[in-house]
Amino acid sequence: PLVLGIETSCDETGVALVRGDELLVDATASSMDEHARYGGIIPEVASRAHLEAMIPTIQQAVGEADVDLSQVDAIAVTAGPGLVGPLTIGAAAAKALSIGLGKPLYGVNHVIGHACVDQLVDGPFPGRVMALVVSGGHSSLLLVDDVATAVTELGSTLDDAAGEAFDKVGRLLGLPYPGGPHIDRLARAGDPNAIRFPRGLTAAKDQDKHAYDFSFSGLKTAVARWVEAEQDAGRAIPVADVAASFAEAVVDVLTAKTIAACRRHDVDTLVVGGGFSANSQLREKAAQRCAEAGVDLRIPPIRYCTDNGAMIAALGSAVVRAGVAPSTLDIGVDSSMSLTTVSV
């Protein structure tokens, strides 16, 4: 089936066309430039940008793929989690297309889409996989038995997401928003073992409640205190070493817990997705630890890790093929949609 996917959970307007596991086109418009000067996403600004970008982005996608909208078999749209205003714009567009074209609508989960998109790049999942989805809004560990129908949440962050922690530490180091990519770049020139920052929740073992949960807000506070103490002592801040040591603490915890979960559940394929999986420290450590543990690592290229329409079209395609019933036209959007709900 030919599936058109629409993503609007945050600041990216994404529209893509997928046939089976083949990506025909992935068109994206972003309003990040408008948010950068505020140091965070302004939902109202993002909503208006989605409204303006939606029809041109749909037209761009169908134009580049050289298909006619009438050939589309199903419409998939992000139903949550995400920002309510932005999600509502995407859902309205998807419902309009569904009614206009007389084709079924599938409201799907954004976070599971971040894992599913890997199938477009690396092929179908070889059975059960572990998925680590790390972004500005999420750090979650999912056990995926079937990406269309059976996803279990093993753990998630109790406070800040990994990308969010990077953005906050970026702000305290005086870097532009979003700080994640800047810290990544600085960290490459620093010593990851220069400062020993805390590893949150790592004392929790397999049987504990928080064995696979994350916590990064204590780490962020530790970095802030360390920087303040140096400033008070009149010393210059070794920014590259701080960035590298902070990044090391984050990716150490993420990868250690993920590998432990793979062992515990006897899973030998790990899929990593979400905007933070652009991070080079994470990519390196995940590759190293997966190799040591005999786990096959799948991380799509960066353009499929950040928010995009392809991930939603990919998940829609999987859901359609699994024979799941379409959504009704009265579905709403859910800003805090459960990570075990694949489609609504």
C-alpha to C-alpha distance for 105 and 97, rounded to whole angstroms:
9
What's the closest the beta carbon of residue 110 comes to Fe ion, in angstroms?
6
* CB 177, CB 40: distance < 8 Å: yes
Q: Is 137 annotated as a binding residue?
A: yes
- Report the candidate in 236, 251, 242, 248 with the shortest Cα–Cα distance to residue 190: 242
Residue reference for tokens 């801040």: 237
Closest chain position to ligand ATP (CB): 275
* CB 30, CB 45: distance < 8 Å: no
Long-range CB contacts (< 8 A, 24+ apart) of 286-292?
286/132, 286/251, 286/254, 286/255, 286/258, 289/255, 289/256, 289/259, 290/259
Tokens of 134: 């790390």
Residues within the interface to ligand ATP (CB under 6 A): 9-10, 82, 110, 135-138, 163-164, 166-167, 178, 180-181, 184, 274-276, 278-279, 306-307
Q: Is 133 annotated as a binding residue?
A: yes
Q: Nearer Cβ to Mg ion, position 167 or 241?
A: 167
Considering only residues 84-143, where is the footprint of Fe ion by CB under 5 A? 135
Q: Choose from Mg ion, Fe ion, ligand ATP, none: what does 178 bind? Cβ within 5-8 Å by kind.
A: ligand ATP
* CB 135, CB 114: distance < 8 Å: yes
Q: Nearer Cβ to Fe ion, position 5 or 190?
A: 5
What's the closest the beta carbon of residue 12 comes to Mg ion, in angstroms?
5
Q: Is 307 annotated as a binding residue?
A: yes
What's the closest the beta carbon of residue 162 comes to ligand ATP, in angstroms?
7
DSSP conformation class of 327: B
Determine which residue in the list 249, 307, 312, 342 makes contact with Fe ion, applying CB under 5 A: 307
Q: Choose from Mg ion, Fe ion, ligand ATP, none: what does 289 bind? Cβ within 5-8 Å by kind.
A: none
Interface with Fe ion (CB under 5 A)? 135, 307
Bind-site residues for Fe cation: 110, 114, 307
Bind-site residues for substrate: 133-137, 167, 180, 184, 279
